[in-house]
């Protein structure tokens, strides 16, 4: 097969690759929409919990709850959320670097650190470096309340049993389709004032002029629920709060999982868009080279015919 035939085969291969990367981009976009819908569906429950919590705090102060207990920090658990798959740009790398930097920072202060990975990428990185985990999880593409509750229960049990003094969550905060921010937040012990005043953001993906875009809306903290002064609680308000706080923690972990998955999918969208653009440029360049070779071959054949005709006449 001549050079022209090889180029023709390569052009076909690049064209097929472009189709695959474009399909992967559209699949990621569809999954981002589903992640967006999941966040919107869980928002009312989180608002209600926050409202009831704030209202009960006004009924009963000061608070003496195990999940709000601040104690001397000798051991910290890092709950790190990454993806299970690649082809998503620097998404996994940023989380790994953030986790590694936080681990070194805490160890420099003489604090013992353990890592609980959610996602095979962060797990594989630290396992190859000899790290052992008390627990590890795969990161689902569609985070569920049951999965968040399972992770939350593990963290709660370790904290209440005194096996760890603080739990920090390392996840990727969704900013836009082209930007995300690796973030660290303390989830245990909980802060009463933090729960009362914590706002939220929701994002909605739409299309404009054939391109995807995201609109972010910032929401304030939920208003405290007003309980009449003569309200009689069947249970002590402290018992109610002890039941609400684990649910609140479940909601925070679920929301962080949803944001991380949305960030991963958005990063994959951008990576596949770049791959599609590169394939398009390469296909164009190869086509131009192929056309030049084909034209040169045609020109050479014409010259040979003319030269043969001239020689016959002479």
Residue 13's pLDDT is: 92
Catalytic (active site) residue 139:
no
Domains and CATH numbers, the chain: 20-273 (3.40.1380.10)
Token pair 């739409």 in the structure block, residue:
206
Q: Model pTM?
A: 0.79
Which of 14, 38, 57, 88 is catalytic? The answer is 88
- What tens-digit pLDDT sequence spans the chain (314 residues)? 567 778 888 999 999 999 999 998 888 888 877 877 777 777 777 777 777 777 776 666 556 778 878 889 999 999 999 999 888 888 999 999 999 999 999 999 999 999 999 999 999 999 999 999 999 999 998 899 899 999 999 999 999 999 999 999 999 988 777 778 899 999 898 876 555 445 555 555 455 555 555 555 555 555 666 666 666 767 777 777 788 888 888 988 998 898 899 889 888 888 898 888 999 999 999 999 888 888 888 888 888 888 888 888 76
């Amino acid at each position: 097969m001549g050079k022209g035939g090889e180029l023709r085969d390569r052009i076909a291969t690049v064209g097929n690759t472009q189709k695959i990367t474009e399909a992967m981009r559209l699949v990621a976009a569809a999954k981002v929409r589903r992640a967006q819908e999941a966040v919107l569906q869980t928002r009312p429950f989180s608002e209600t919990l926050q409202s009831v919590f704030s209202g009960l705090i006004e009924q009963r102060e000061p608070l003496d709850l195990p999940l709000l207990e601040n104690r001397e920090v000798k051991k910290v658990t890092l709950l790190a959320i990454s993806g299970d798959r690649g082809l998503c740009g620097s998404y996994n790398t940023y989380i790994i670097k953030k986790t590694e930097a936080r681990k070194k920072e805490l160890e420099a202060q003489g604090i013992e650190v353990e890592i609980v990975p959610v996602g095979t990428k962060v797990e594989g990185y630290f396992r190859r470096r000899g790290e052992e985990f008390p627990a590890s999880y795969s990161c689902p593409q569609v985070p569920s309340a049951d999965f968040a509750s399972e992770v939350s229960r593990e963290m709660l049990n370790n904290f209440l049993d005194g096996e760890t003094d603080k739990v920090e969550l390392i996840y990727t905060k969704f900013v836009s389709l082209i930007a995300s921010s690796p973030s660290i937040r303390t989830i245990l012990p909980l802060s009463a004032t933090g729960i009362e005043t914590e706002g939220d953001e929701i994002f909605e993906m739409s299309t404009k002029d054939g391109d995807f875009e995201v609109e972010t809306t910032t929401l304030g903290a939920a208003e405290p629920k007003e309980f009449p002064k003569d309200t009689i609680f069947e249970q002590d308000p402290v018992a109610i709060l002890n039941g609400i706080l684990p649910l609140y923690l479940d909601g925070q972990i679920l929301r962080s999982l949803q944001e991380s998955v949305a960030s991963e999918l958005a990063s994959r969208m951008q990576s596949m868009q770049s791959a599609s653009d590169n394939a398009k440029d390469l296909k164009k360049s190869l086509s131009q080279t192929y056309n030049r070779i084909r034209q040169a071959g045609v020109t050479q054949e014409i010259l040979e015919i003319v030269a043969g005709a001239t020689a016959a006449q002479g």
